[in-house]
Chains A and B, each alone.
Chain A
Amino acid sequence: MLKKLIVFILLIAGTGTLCAQTRYTLSGYVREKGTHELLPGVNIYVPSLRNGTVTNNYGFYSLSLPEGTCEVIFSYIGYQTVSYQIVFDQNRDLEVNLSGSIALSEVTITAEEITRNSENSQMSMVVLPVQQIKNIPAFLGEKDVFKALQLMPGVQKGSEGSSGLYVRGGGPDQNLIILDDAPVYNASHLFGFFSIFNGDALKSIELTKGGFPARFGGRLSSVVEMTMKDGNKTKLSGEAGIGLISSRLLLEGPIIKEKASFIVSARRTYIDALIRPMMPRDEKFGYYFYDLNAKVNYDFGRKDKLYLSGYFGRDKFSIVDRGNYYDEFNQNQYSTEAGLYWQNATSTIRWNHLFNNKVFANTSAIFSRYNLTIYDKEKDNSGTYSLKYYSGIRDFALKYDLEYHATPTYTLRTGIQTTQHRFTPSAVVEKDSQTLENFDQKTIYDSFESGLYAENQFNFGGKAQLNAGFRLSHFAVDGEYYLAPEPRMSFNFILSKGFSAKAAYAEMNQYIHLLSNTGIGLPTDLWVPSTTRVKPQNSRQLSAGLARDLNNPGLSVTLEGYYKWSKNILGYKPGASFLLIDDPSEARNFTWQDNVTAGKSLSYGAELLIHKKTGRFSGWIGYTLSWTKLKFDEINFGEYFWAKYDRRHDLSVVAIYEINPRVTLSGTWVYGTGNAITLPQADFPVLINNPIENLLGEHFSGYYYYPQSVTDYGRVNSYRIKAYHRLDLSVQFHKQMKRWERTWEFGLYNAYSRKNPFFYFIDETYTEYGSRSTLKQVSIFPIIPSVSYNIKF
C-alpha cells in the first residue's frame, strides 16, 4: 500500500514538472509596511487560475505561473489587501509591503481575497490573530495566548484558571509548544494560572490539532507554533502596560536601518515588591515571576537572513525566617531560608538561505532548558542543614528545513532535526552538620531524538489539494533504540466555490513524558524519557470535515469529526505520587518507572467553529462534542474509564465589537461539562487471609482477620463535578495622544460570579454523638474586576 502511494506521489510530481515548461516564477518576501516585519501566512491568490500559496514562517513565497498577464492578490487578516497586474515573461522578484496594524474594521476586502479556509488542505488548524487575543477579556487583564486558544473547539482547559491545553482528549504534556523553533517545556507561570506567553512579542500563533504536517513530530495531540516578531526595521517603537499584577514593556527598533533590528519584551509581577516593605524584618516571603523575550536579526539581502532569538522566564517563591529561641539556659538564634524557583530558557539561531527563487532553506540551532530548584538552608546553634533539589530537562538541537516550490501544482518540503535531551528527574544534595549525614545523588538520562521528513503538497487544478507526507522518527536512550514510521496525509476536495470537504490521517510518536500529580501544571511535574521499560506513546488520528467560506467577508464555518486512538499512554498506578515538594529528600528513593503503567486511550468527537476574523463585529462560536476514555491494566482493574477532562459539551462564544475607533467592547462565555473525578462513596472493612494460619491451625493474634477499613471509590472517574460556565466582559477605551496611543481597559472576570468548581473535598464535622461527612466544593475566582493601562508608541 505504501509503495503504491509513493509511486502515485512521484507520478503526480513528475506530471506537474513536465507541464511546467512555459512557466515563470514569482517569488519574494511579504512585509508589514512601516516596520518591515516579515509576515507569515499571507495568502497569495491568482483568481484567474484559482491557484495560490501562502508565505512561509519567514515571509517568503514562491509561485510558478504561466506566461501572460495575471492578477495576483496579497491578503492577510488585519492588513490592507493589495493586488498587482503582472506580466509574466520572465522570472520575477516581487517584494510586497502590506499596510500593517490597521484596525480590523477598516479592512475592506471581498470574499475572493481573504484567506480561504476551504482552499487549504490543512485541517484541524487554528490561526489566532494576535490582535484578536488582545481584544478579548482576560483574567486580571493579563492577555494570555493559551487562554485564548482554550476558547477554540477541540481545546479545553483543565481546572479553573489553568493555562494548560487539553487537545482532543490529550494531556498538556502532549502538546508540542514551539517558540521560534525551540520547544518550551513548562509554559506556566504562577502554578498554571498564567501562561508564559504574553502576546506582545509574538507575530503569529498557530495551533494544529490533527492532520499534522510531517514537519512536526514528537508529541501526540497538538502543535502550538509561535513566532516572535523580528523588530521594527525603520524606527524605534514600543508598547507598555500596567496591570493589577504585572507590568510589561516592549521595545523594538532598527540597529542598522533596513538591515538589522531588535525587539525586547519584558513582563514582571510586583506583588512581592509591594508587600515586602510591610512585612516584619525577620519574616519575609515573596513570590514573583518575570519573562523576557529578545530577538535580533540581520538581513544580508534577498538571499540570506540571520535571526537570534531567546526567551527567559522565571517564577520564584521564597521564605526567610530569622529569630530567637530559648532553651533551658540560653537565648539562641535561628534562621531559615527556603524556596523554590522554576525557569524556562530557550534560544534559537536561524539562518534563512534562498538558493534560487524556488528553493528556500532554513537552518536552526536550538537550545531549550527547563528546571526546578527547591532549596532549604537552616541554621541554629546546634548546626546547619542544607538541602538542594533540582530537576529539569535540557535540549540542544539542530534542524534543517528545505522548501522546493517545483511547479504551481507541486511543492516539496523536507528536512531533518536531531535533539540531544538531558533529563535530570532528580538531583539532591543534602548536608547536615549535626548528623554528618551528607547525601549527593543525581539521576541523569541522556537521549537523542531525531526526525526525517518529507511533505509533498499537490494542487489538482484548483479542485483538490493533497499533502502527502512521511516522517521517520528515532529515539535512542541507554542502548535502547526506537524507530517509527509516521505516515501523514491531508486532503481537500472543493465541492463548490468556498465549500470543501477535508480528510486527514496522522500517526505520531512521543518519546518524552511528563509525570504530574495534580494535572494543574505544578512546577514539580517531571519530564522523563522513554526507556527500555517505558515505551514511546503512540497515536493515530483520523479526521474529516467540511469547510465553508461564506460570502460575508472573513466568516468561515468548519465542522470536523475526529477519531484518535493512542497506545502506551502513560498512567499512574494506584497510589503513585511524584510530588517531591513535601520532602525533596524523598527523591533519593524515587523510582518513577515503578509508579507508571502503560495503557491506551480512545478519543472521538465533533467540533464546530464559526469564526469571523474581520469587521467591526468579530469573534467566534466554538462547540465541541467529545468523548475520551482510558484503559490501563493496572488502573480501574483493567476496565475503560472516562478521562478526568472528558468533556461531553464544551462551548465558547467570543464577541468583539468596535463601537467606534475609540471604544471596543468584548465578551466571552464558556460552558463545559464537569470533570470526571473519583469520589469516595463509603467506608468498608477489608480482611486479609493468611494461609499459614489455617495450615498450622493457629490463631495469630492481631493479624488474622485484622480489620482495616478502606474507601469505596466506585469506578475510577465515575462522578461528574458541576458544569463550568463563566462570562467575562471588557471594555477598552483607545485614544490617540500626541506621541502615543493609550488604551484603558476595564474587565470583569466571571461577571455573574458563578461558583465554578476548582476541587471537591470531604469535610468531616464532629459532634458528641459522632461525625458527619459532607461534600464541599471550593471555588477560587468569584467576580474579579481588573483594570489596565496600555500605551503604544
Chain B
Amino acid sequence: MKNIHTLLLSLVVLVLFPSCDQLISEIDAPPSEPKLVVYSVISPQDSVVEVRVYKSNPLFNKVNYDYFDNRFPPVTNATVLMSSGSRSVTIPYDEENETYRIDASAIDVEAGMHYVLMVMVPEFSQVSAECTVPEQAPPDIEITGSGFTQETGMEEWYFEFKFKDLPGPGHNYLVNAAILYYDPWMDETHNYFNGFKQGTPLVTDKSNDGGYFYYRTYPNAPVHVENSDKVWVSLSLIDEHYYLYAQSVNNFQDENPFSEPTPVYSNIDGGLGVFAAMNSVLKAVPFE
C-alpha cells in the first residue's frame, strides 16, 4: 500500500511540479533609451524660476546601485529656453544649486499668461511643455477655530480653517501649513510642517464644486508654541498638470505585485517630469 502511495505521489509531483528553473526564461527586454526628465513649477510669487533636468535610468541596463544623486546626476549641458508670447529667455545652469535658474524678472511670471519650455540636450530629442498660470487668485483662507488641546497629555495648539472653492469647475488646490521657530538649544531657526488631521493638502473641486474645504491641523508641540508666535498657511491654485502630477506621485507604489501600476503623470512632450504653474497666497495665524 505504501509503495502505491509513493508511486502515485511521485507521479503527481512529476506532473505538477516540474523543474522550476526550466520554466523561467530570460526575455529580450524592449530597447529602452534614457529620457530627459524635466521639472519646473512657476509661480508669480516666486523670486526665481528654476528648471531641473535629469535623465531617466533604463531598467534593463547595468546600473550602479548608489546614492540618488549618483544615480540621477543633473544634466548640466542642456539648453533651456522659456518663452511667453514674443519674449524668450535662455536659463543658465547654476552649479551651486544644481539647477537651471534665473531671476523671475527675466521672464515675468504673471497670472493668466501662457509659458512654453523647451529643453535641448545633445544626443537627446528636444523636449517641450506648456502651461498657463492660473488667472484667478486663490480664495480667502478663513480661520474657523483654534485653541489648546490635551489630546496627547501635553498642552498643544491646533487650529482650523476653511476656504471656498472658486466659482466654476476645474479648480485644484495645494494647501500647506508650517511653522518657523527658534530653537534656543541649537541657537538657530527650525522649520516644521504641520500635518492635517482633517483635510488633505491636494484637493480638486471635481466632486465639491463651489463647496468649502475644511482643515484642522495636528497639534503643535509645546516647543513650537513656546518658541514662535504664529503658524503659516499657504493656499495655491494649481494647474491641472501639477494636480495630476502630484496626485500620481502621492499614489506611486512600487512593492505590491497585486496592486494596479501607478504611473506618474507627465506633460513633458518627448520626456518625463512636469512643467506646471501655480498662484499662491500666504496667511499668518497667530497663536491665540
Chain A contact residues, CB within 8 Å of chain B: 140, 244-245, 271, 274-275, 277-278, 517-518, 572-577, 579, 635-637, 678-698, 700-701, 703, 705, 707-714, 716, 719, 722, 755, 760, 762, 766, 769-780, 782, 784-786
Contact = CB atoms under 8 A, between A and B. Distances in A.
B25 A779 contact: yes
Nearest to B206: A633
Contacts of B117: none
A245 to B, nearest CB: 7
A719 B28 CA distance: 13
23 contacts: A274-B5, A274-B8, A278-B9, A573-B260, A575-B252, A575-B253, A637-B265, A691-B176, A691-B234, A698-B180, A698-B191, A709-B68, A711-B263, A711-B264, A716-B261, A722-B27, A755-B23, A769-B64, A771-B63, A773-B59, A777-B24, A780-B23, A784-B15
Given A695-B45, A777-B27, A779-B25, A574 B261 contact: yes
Interface string B232-258: 111010000010101011011110101
Nearest to B249: A686
Interface string B62-88: 111110110110000000000000000
Nearest to B31: A681
B5 A244 contact: no
Given A681-B32, A712-B56, A688 B249 contact: yes
A684 B35 contact: yes
Contacts of A703: 193
Contacts of A769: 62, 64
B11 to A, nearest CB: 7
A682 B58 CA distance: 4
Nearest to B11: A244
B26 A710 contact: no
Nearest to B68: A707
Contact of A716 (B26, B174, B249, B263): B263
Contacts of A709: 68, 71-72
Contacts of A722: 27
Contacts of B37: 684-685
Given A517-B259, A685-B54, A692 B23 contact: no
Contacts of A716: 261, 263
Contact of B193 (A700, A712, A773): A700
Given A686-B249, A770-B62, A271 B258 contact: no
B178 interface: yes
Give the most central of B23, B64, B72: most A CB within 10 Å: B23
Contacts of A278: 5, 9
B145 to A, nearest CB: 21
Contacts of A683: 56-57, 59, 71-72
A684 B54 contact: yes
Contacts of B178: 692-693, 696, 700
Contacts of A680: 59
B196 interface: no
A684 B56 contact: yes
Contacts of A140: 15
A775 B253 CA distance: 20
Interface string B259-277: 1111111000000110000
B22 interface: yes
Contacts, number: 212
A682 B34 contact: yes
Given A682-B56, A683-B71, A694-B280, 6 more contacts: A575-B260, A684-B56, A710-B264, A712-B272, A772-B62, A778-B24
Interface in B24-53: 24-30, 32, 34-35, 37, 39, 41, 43, 45-47, 52
Nearest to A638: B244
Contacts of B254: 710-711
B153 interface: no
Contacts of A694: 43, 45-47, 280
Interface in B145-173: none
A696 B45 CA distance: 10
A259 B282 CA distance: 87
Nearest to B254: A711
A751 B178 CA distance: 67
B263 A719 contact: no
A695 B28 CA distance: 49
Contacts of B71: 683, 709
Contacts of B184: none
A713 B280 contact: no
B113 interface: no
Nearest to B246: A688
Contacts of B26: 774-777
A775 to B, nearest CB: 4
Contacts of B24: 776-779
A749 to B, nearest CB: 10
Nearest to B48: A694
Interface in B89-145: none
Given A696-B232, A722-B27, A760-B27, A684 B272 contact: yes
A513 B186 CA distance: 59
B262 A637 contact: no
Contact of B23 (A682, A708, A772, A778): A778
Contact of B263 (A577, A713, A785): A713
B278 A786 contact: no
A690 B175 CA distance: 9
Contacts of A713: 261, 263
Contacts of B60: 773-775
A709 B273 CA distance: 11
Nearest to B14: A785
B258 A518 contact: yes
Contact of A766 (B46, B65, B251, B264): B65
Nearest to A516: B258
Contact of A775 (B29, B34, B45, B180): B29
A658 to B, nearest CB: 28
